[in-house]
Structure 1
Amino acid sequence: MTIYVGIDDTGNSESVGTGKFARIIAGEISKKYPVYGVTRHQFYVHPDINFSLHNFGAVIHVDTEEEYVDNIFESVKEVMQDNFNNGSNPGLAVAHESCISPAVVAYGKDAKETVIISKRAWNLALNSNIQLESIGGNGSGVIGAVAGLGLAYAGNDGRFLQIGRIRKLKGPQPVEKLIGAGIDGIFTPDGRPITKGIIFNEGDKPVKPCPVNGEVILFVYEENGIFKAVTRD
């Protein structure tokens, strides 16, 4: 069973950003509950949408029972309040998987291609038993916080910011080592499985696999006989 913790719009130009902040929160949660991973979900970019930097949200996947939703919500809320950044509009949404209905999934998909007002997020949270909180600013972060829950639950969206031991592997890595660190499979975009060789990634950063049908998949492309990791939104 999984509890999803969605956060959005937590940073400003001088802060660590939502992605890194989500990993910090995941570290705090993991002191009491098992954390499966952290995913990043890109939302619609439009002039009518007020966002701090890149308009993406992050979701922490916690493998625990529904009875701990309130405890996790309160502990994450406290961390976010203690680390509020001026100019940001943080939102926090927490729900057990049983509360993520088709309406929540559809809302998440809408957030990738349309402008959504915060009232819709509040109404959806109320009707779906989702714990929702505006931590500060104008409160617009609740839109992405709820959307992230639907996208993370449905799968096949975004990429992992944290999964297994992937973040410890930086620079070129053999396929076997990546598979052993938490990736389930490596494929080219046209579906060719890659079972051996070295995978290169930009700079000294860890690769960023994607959730695909319940599996952790890394996509790569071949260039002059070299496999390079693909970064997907």
Structure 2
Amino acid sequence: MFYLIGIDGTDSPSVNGGEDTASLGIRLGLLLQERRFGRMLAVTRHQLLRRDALPFTAENQACCLLMEADADARRDIELTSREFILRQSAPASDPGFALAAWSNLSAAVDTWGQQAKYLRLQRDAAMQLARAHDISVAGFQGNGNGVIGALAAVGLRSSGNDGQFAWLPGLESLKGTLTLPALLNYCAIDRVENLRGRTPFDRDLIHLGEAPVVLLRGGQSLLLLHSCAGEDVNQWRVYSPVELAEVAP
């Protein structure tokens, strides 16, 4: 089975330089793998409502882990996740947790995720939606509102059209300049193309920089490129985060 673990609100504006929510999520996934409860397939980060009035959070970014696990491992995944998030979240944070079987989700959960990007939602509504879809949720510390963003992360991930990958197998190896076959050998990204859908030829050079941003679009991982001048072969480079905000918001 495929499970989605949503996490939100583990950071705090009062802790400068603290660990962001996606980094904590990656550590949780590695722990679940180490204990053999399942296999981590991906971690995505999702931007929720940007608003100074929102308390307890530094950037209001949630994350979602995609795990493959047997149905009888669900309780172990839930208990381990709850304990880990509670212990590892920053002081004065308002962390939340959501665990969903992907097969139980509906468009209503996806819609919740989209609304959380633009509206200030209520905890009671999150709890009601979670119960209707057999989603385990919990809020720790603070006022318990972390469940709002945790559930939103699940919805945004299941929609397949939001956010960026914080972790994929081999993603950390993508840097410098590579050909497309070499790139895919390091990290099996679904689509490597420009805005018109053109894919580099095998001999083309792709300049990745130090930390290329891989998007979640159409339910797939997408590395967007644009061409740059080259002498002997076609050359490509990735978009910077600022550029991506313009071309693929």
- Same fold by TM-score, threshold 0.5 exceeded? yes
State the 1:134 CA deviation.
0.8
RMSD: 1.9
Q: Does residue 199 of structure 1 match 2:198?
A: no
* CA deviation string 1:5-26 (max 9, x = no partner): 0101111333211111111111
Distance in 2 between the 1:200 and 1:194 partners? Answer: 12
Letter in 1 for 2:197: G
Query: How do 1:152-191 and structure 2 match up within 5 A?
Result: 152-180=157-185, 181-191=187-197
Distance in 2 between the 1:195 and 1:217 partners? Answer: 17
Percent identical = 26
Q: Which secondary structure does the structure 1 equivalent of 2:144 belong to?
A: coil
* CA deviation string 1:29-62 (max 9, x = no partner): 1221111111111112124433522211110100
Q: Which secondary structure does the structure 1 equivalent of 2:10 belong to?
A: coil
Letter in 1 for 2:193: F
Q: Does residue 99 of structure 1 match 2:111?
A: no
Letter in 2 for 1:5: I
State the 1:122 CA deviation.
1.4
Most deviating of 115-124 and 53-62 = 115-124
Q: Which secondary structure does the structure 2 equivalent of 1:6 belong to?
A: strand
Distance in 1 between the 2:164 and 2:199 partners? Answer: 19
Sort the Cα spacing of 1:42 and 1:6 in 2 relative to 1 into closer, same or farther, 3 A.
same
Kept in 2: contact 1:4–1:61 (CA 8 A): yes
Distance in 1 between the 2:178 and 2:19 partners? Answer: 27
Q: Does residue 25 of structure 1 match 2:31?
A: no
Query: How do 1:133-144 and structure 2 match up within 5 A?
Result: 133-144=138-149
* Runs of 4 or more consecutive aligned structure 1 residues displaced over 3 Å after TM superposition: 223-226
Equivalent residues, number:
231
Distance in 1 between the 2:214 and 2:77 partners? Answer: 26
* CA deviation string 1:115-151 (max 9, x = no partner): 2122221121122211001122222221110011111
Q: Which secondary structure does the structure 2 equivalent of 1:120 belong to?
A: helix
Distance in 1 between the 2:229 and 2:116 partners? Answer: 38
Most deviating of 14-23 and 207-216 = 207-216
Q: Which secondary structure does the structure 2 equivalent of 1:44 belong to?
A: coil
Distance in 1 between the 2:67 and 2:207 partners? Answer: 30
Distance in 1 between the 2:206 and 2:26 partners? Answer: 24
In structure 1, stretches of 5+ residues that fail to align are: none
